Structure 1
Amino acid sequence: MRTRLMCATGAFSLLLVAGCGAGAADGGSIGTTAVVSSRAQRVYDRIQALPPAKQRAMAVQLADEEGSLEVYTSLTDDVADAVTKAFQKQFPHVRISMFRGNSETILQRILQESQARRLGADAVESDFLEMSSLDSQRALAQYTGPGQARVAASSRFPDWTADRFNVFLPAWNTDLVKTADVPRSWEALADPAYKGEITLEPTDSDWYENVTHYWLTHGKSQAQVDVLWKHIVANSHVTKGHTTIMALLGAGQTPLDSMNYTYITEQARLKGAPVAYRLPDGTNPLPAFPRPNGVGMLRGAAHPAAAWLFYDWMLDEGQKILVGLHLTPSTEVPGDTSLRGIHLAPFDVKGLTDTSTDWDKKYDEQLRGVTSAKGGG
């Protein structure tokens, strides 16, 4: 995580030094310190100069004239498809296209297109780390529309806003793990009773950092934390991919995931898999960490009105689409039960964006020598 952010930031910093000319919409690069797309900024300013109640109507009018919208997103295929269809149905004159990839791919693609002076994206929806990187490099334009009022202050960042959360909690196979044996704390994963029973995901360094930070800020010493991780890793196997480890869990090939995103567990449960992240009474006593994923509009957008419209829509109607797919929205949405019975702990955004610690490397070192999970290859 820290390594990929530093590499991306370095590449973008070189671009900032070398950048010249107009913004991407005018044939130049995005994110330069002195020069961005003046056309795009004029459109953003024109919309946001209006009273909040009139901004959406102006954005729709201008977006209809633009006719297109390109979004880069790390949403999974099913969610991206649902968002695309709902947005297209509501705004039929704006042809929306989504490029979907993992968050690292999204960031690298924006950087590469910027260097080639051919920015393809108008808006971006991705993981907090990549959004923070784009924000720090001044690649994103400021949104001050009505959607901001719907989101808690802790979910608003300088030039992007959280539109959903991936919530971290263990998941278990209800046929293989009795209710009495479900872990009631993160520390419980270190219990020798779970020897060989736990599946770890090798890219979950953000989970590793948050659990570590939680323990250190709740009375544990570094030595105690180190011992806990040593025992957790000793109890575990490793398999890559959260959907893969959920498939293994649902098939009964593994009994317990150390952590999975609650929406993945819930989607599997609703499809009939014997999996859960809540106890039978509907609660989970562990502190759950909600990782923010956010939406932003690019300063060099070729279709800035459409980018603004998408940003605003994702904080309004788009929230209902997310809830319908059992994701956790960043706003209050009627019918949302994703956090019912869950105890949230603050997600340590600061710790994960601090360049002094490479949490990818630290987590990799923890997992050194751990074998692949049963059935996981």
Structure 2
Amino acid sequence: MRYRRIVRSAAVAAAALILAACGSSPTSPGGAGEAGGAAADATAKAQQVYDRINGLTSDERKKTLVELAEKEGNLSVYTSNTDIDKVIEKFEKAYKIDVSVYRGNSESVLQRILQEQKANYLGVDFVDTNAGELNVLNAEKVVYPYKGELRDKVRKEGQADGWTAHRFNVFVIGWNTEKVKPGEEPKSFEDLADPKWKGRVSMEVGDVDWFAGLYKYYLDQGKSDAEVRDLFTRVAANSKVAKGHTTQGELLSAGQFAITVSSYSHTIDKAQDKGAPVSWHPASGVPLQPIVLRPNGMALMKTAKNPAAAMLFADFQLTEGQAILGESFRIGSIPQAKDPLAGLKVVTVPEQELLNDPKKWDNLYADILRSGQEVK
């Protein structure tokens, strides 16, 4: 994910749709004024439902939500989550609600929502995407707080302003077990700066968030900025630079390189489950630390036509949905009995800093990667 592109996309979408809103609105033949009234009405009605449900607990909340949501009968979800299909399938089986889905990458989801909001088009009830985009939506004041006992159970890293994490992308150091034999694994990220790893490591071109989290971790550990930059530069000099985690994971499985510095844990776990010679658990059994954590989450739209269905789906994501995520090797936001992160040093992505100063981190990471070799 590139935070610079997110912010620029938001600005471009907003500018374009100020013009679009001056024409006829897709919600009404009466023009922008009439559509704006419809949006205001939807906001008032949705807020009334949200506030009512946010104040309820336990069985009363569930009973009221189901009654209201099934009366609405529909739910519109915009998502970048590639593992959401099973969640939606089981949700539709559990309740009398038809779910429509728009799926794109995280930037596309953000752009579409901003465009629709500017045009007063009420197309989405529930958003499921990455932290950076959700922070933009919260800053644009188009989402509404989700509260309750379930949110309180979410790891503190996932209780964000305006939205709530239901899963985490966990950045880990992974390796091809045929290229790195048991006992030969690096002991830390710093080990990968050793010249013996030259040409055997891979970095991913878009992992600015991982980079910022780990960079700040080393600063907090007492290293100078020059020392941290030198460390990353030396690791990059040993690296092949790939574009996209999926592509990078396939190349790791194929043995095109031995080590990845910021793979998603679920990418490696899925490949391993299919028989690929990959792992992120060394012979010692303890993953390399620190592990960088980025929340992926959900938000309720202020203008939702189906606010009760949106809240019911949010509750579902934090109950039955957590087990479904686990089946896809995802790490849910509510700690389970067998918590894969228990006892590990976890570093969080500095989301607000990335949002406030995206150019700083984009440019720094791009400079670092110039020392690497691009994967053709």
TM-score by length of 1: 0.89
The alignment status of 1:329 with 2:332, answered yes or no, reads yes
1:184 touches 1:284 (CA, 8 Å); kept in 2? Answer: no
C-alpha separation between the residues in 1 aligned to 2:194 and 2:293?
A: 25
- CA drift at 1:354: 2.7
Partner of 1:287: 290
Change beyond 3 A, Cα 1:119–1:7: farther
Partner Cα distance (2:137, 2:242) in 1: 30
Following superposition, the deviation at residue 14 of structure 1 comes to 6.0
1:56 aligns with 2:93: no
1:134 to 123, 137, 141: 137
Contact 1:52–1:145 (Cα < 8 Å) also in 2: no
Alpha-carbon distance, 1:369 to partner: 6.4
Residues 331-350 of structure 1 correspond to what in structure 2 (within 5 A)? Answer: 331-334=334-337, 336-339=338-341, 342-350=344-352
Corresponding residue of 1:179: 182
C-alpha separation between the residues in 2 aligned to 1:152 and 1:302? 30
Q: Deviations over 1:291-319 (max 9, x none)?
A: 11111110011111111111111111111
Which deviates the most, 347-356 or 304-313?
A: 347-356
2:147 alignment partner, SS class? coil
Q: In the alignment, residue 321 of structure 2 is paired with which amino acid?
A: G
CA distance in 2, matches of 1:127, 1:165: 9
| RMSD of equivalent CA atoms | 2.7
Contact 2:27 2:120 in 1 (8 A): no
User: Partner residue of 2:31?
Assistant: none
Instruction: Give the structure 2 partner of residue 202 of structure 1.
Output: 205
Structure 1 range deviating more: 237-246 or 343-352 = 343-352
Contact 2:4/2:359 (<8 A) preserved: no
The answer to which of 34-43 and 223-232 deviates more is: 34-43
Within a 5 Å distance, the mapping from 1:80-91 to structure 2 comes to 80-91=84-95
The Cα shift of 1:8 comes to 4.3
Q: Quickly say closer, same or farther: Cα 1:152–1:172, change in 2 above 3 A.
A: closer
Residues 356, 86 of structure 1: CA spacing in aligned structure 2 closer, same or farther, 3 A cutoff?
A: closer
What SS does structure 1 have at the residue aligned with 2:270?
helix
Higher mean alpha-carbon deviation, 361-370 vs 250-259, is at 361-370
What is the aligned length? 366
- Please say if 1:363 is aligned against 2:352: no
The 5-angstrom pairing of residues 161-176 of structure 1 reads: 161-176=164-179
Q: How does 1:110-149 map to 2 (within 5 A)?
A: 110-149=113-152
Q: Give 1:13 deviation, angstroms.
A: 6.8
Using the size of structure 2 for normalisation, the TM-score is 0.89
Secondary structure of 2:206's counterpart equals: coil
Structure 1 segment 303-318 matched on structure 2, within 5 A: 303-318=306-321
Q: How far apart are residue 41 of structure 1 and its match? A: 1.3
d(CA) in 1 for partners of 2:85, 2:122 = 23
Structure 2: segments with no counterpart, 5+ residues: 29-33
% of aligned pairs identical? 37
Quick one: distance in 2 between partners of 1:163 and 1:142? 15
